Amino acid sequence: MTYLTHPMVDFLLARITERENEALEERDEGWPPGVLAACEADRNMIQWAMGIEELRDMGDEAAPLTPLGDTALRSMASVYADHPNFRDEWRQ
């Protein structure tokens, strides 16, 4: 399965974009200054997770044997478990 078109990745990126937009709109109304930095960190984590899983899918011997990337993505998605677009198969 390619993680570049993975529905869970699309879901996470949409939630991050929503948080960024809310932070930008509410910037002067007391949003914590770290929200945009946290969004960037989340995007970086998704890129890392996708890279790990792509290496595993390609059979790279240097890739971890455990599905670390998938586990990281599921953990990130679990924050949004009450969102209507969250899928049950993403639960840990």
Over the Cα atoms of the chain, what is R_g? 15
pLDDT of residue 13: 92
DSSP-assigned letter for residue 91: -
| pLDDT at residue 72, rounded to an integer | 87
CA distance 23 to 40: 13
Assess whether pLDDT exceeds 80 at residue 59: no
Total-model pTM: 0.77
Q: Report CA-CA distances (Å) from 75 to 7, 24, 34, 41.
A: 15, 25, 20, 14
CA 79 vs. chain centroid, Å, equals: 10
Banded pLDDT at 48 (limits 50, 70, 90): confident
